[in-house]
Amino acid sequence: MNTDSETLTPCCAIARRIEVPDPRPLDGDGDVVGAAREADRRRRRLLDGVTDAHVHLWPDAIYRALWRWFDEHAWKIRFRANAEETVSALSASGVTRAVSLVYAHKPGIARSLNAFARQLGDAHAGLVPMATVSPEDSDALDIVREALGPMGLRGIKLHCHVQKTPIDDPRVIAILRECAAAGCPAVVHCGRAPASDAYGVDTHLICEHTRCERVLQEIPTLKLVVPHLGLDEFEPYLALVDRYEGLYLDTSMACAEYFEQRIDWRAIEQRSERVLYGTDFPIVPYEYDRELRVLARRIEDDRAFERIVRGTSAALWPT
């Protein structure tokens, strides 16, 4: 018996690290048709004035903590600046509307994050500021009512990995019910990927797509956006989109051709009324417009492209 290999084998069979490939250049992949389609859309200015439905605007200290965490456990975040500079970079890249997200990684901080989001939203008309709450906040429902009522924030963002809580946890369901009652969308990272042991929770255990389905059944009026096209359960989430009219998927990182995951572009195109362009900027390891360029190349139909980069999010968050 090779005891060495035994001691090298992690005691936990689910040990996971986030894969961090180097972003490969988009040009030079031999896709002449895609490159021509992107150039044509650029000429017709279809890449200007887009809505990015998934950006992260944080107070400085949280940006710094995220840079440290990602340096250690995931990819190298390329663009490192404060929230104001991030907003400027988005607008320099042709983004005219952006859904700004924060999430509370522990109880007791949601109110200050929500106040920060409100302040930024007041300073920049193109931002759609979202609130957050920790399922562990004892006054979670009061925080949500305050945020979506008097504060005028436009929905709730939760992150099952960071908050170590499944989407079908009764406390999360109560939060999402409140959100639905206020007529606001919720953005919940309830997909399993990218999974890392560094989250301190088995994301595959708490993020199975059936948990999401349970929530959609319990709250039929909820408008729920699942980031990253629900990766790594792409097909099951597409099937849920077909069954539940309140479910939407954002593209963030899933359509950037950074991860190995194969994307069924026709399936995305056919469901463009329920798919939103989002990037996760600035928490990404490549240049801002990479995902937009991939979409401009791979989505064939102009109307579907329009819906993904503007229309679907305009329907979810009307001006």
Q: To the nearest whole angstrom, how small is the minimum distance from the Cβ of residue 138 to Zn ion? A: 26
Report which of 78, 107, 8 is spatially closest to residue 288, judged by C-alpha positions: 78
Sheet holding 95-101, edge to edge: 50-56, 95-101, 127-129
Neighbours of 8 (CB within 10 A): 8
Range 152-191, binding Zn ion (CB under 5 A): none
* Closest distance to Zn ion from the beta carbon of 252 (Å): 6
Q: Which residues, 40 to 79, sit near Zn ion by CB under 5 A?
A: none
> How many residues contact Zn ion, by CB under 5 A?
1
The nearest distance, CB 54 to Zn ion, in angstroms, is 6
Evaluated on CA atoms 85, 91, 97, 99, the torsion sign reads negative
Footprint (CB under 5 A) of Zn ion, residues 299-318: none
Q: Which stretch binds Zn ion (CB under 5 A): 235-243, 274-282, 284-292, 298-306?
A: 274-282
Q: How far apart are CA 157 and CA 131, in angstroms?
A: 6
Q: In angstroms, give the least distance from the CB of 77 to Zn ion.
A: 12
> Which residue, 67 or 270, has its beta carbon nearer to Zn ion?
67
Contacts of 302 (CB under 8 A, 6+ apart): 41, 46
With H, G, I as helix, E, B as strand and everything else as coil, classify residue 37. Answer: helix
Q: Measured from the CB of residue 73, what is the shortest distance to Zn ion in angstroms?
A: 15
- Which position among 280, 281, 299, 305 is part of the footprint of Zn ion (CB under 5 A)? 280
Which of residues 269 and 280 has its CB atom nearest to Zn ion in the complex? 280
Write down the least CB distance from residue 292 to Zn ion, Å.
16
Report whether 47 contacts 292 (CB < 8 A): yes
CB 170 within 8 Å of CB 211: no
Taking CB under 5 A as the rule, does residue 250 contact Zn ion? no
**Closer residue to Zn ion in complex, CB, 101/219:** 101
List, in order, residues 6 or more apart from 185 with CB less than 8 Å away.
154, 155, 179, 223, 224, 225, 248, 316, 317
Residue with smaller CB distance to Zn ion, 178 or 280: 280
Residues binding Zn ion (CB under 5 A): 280
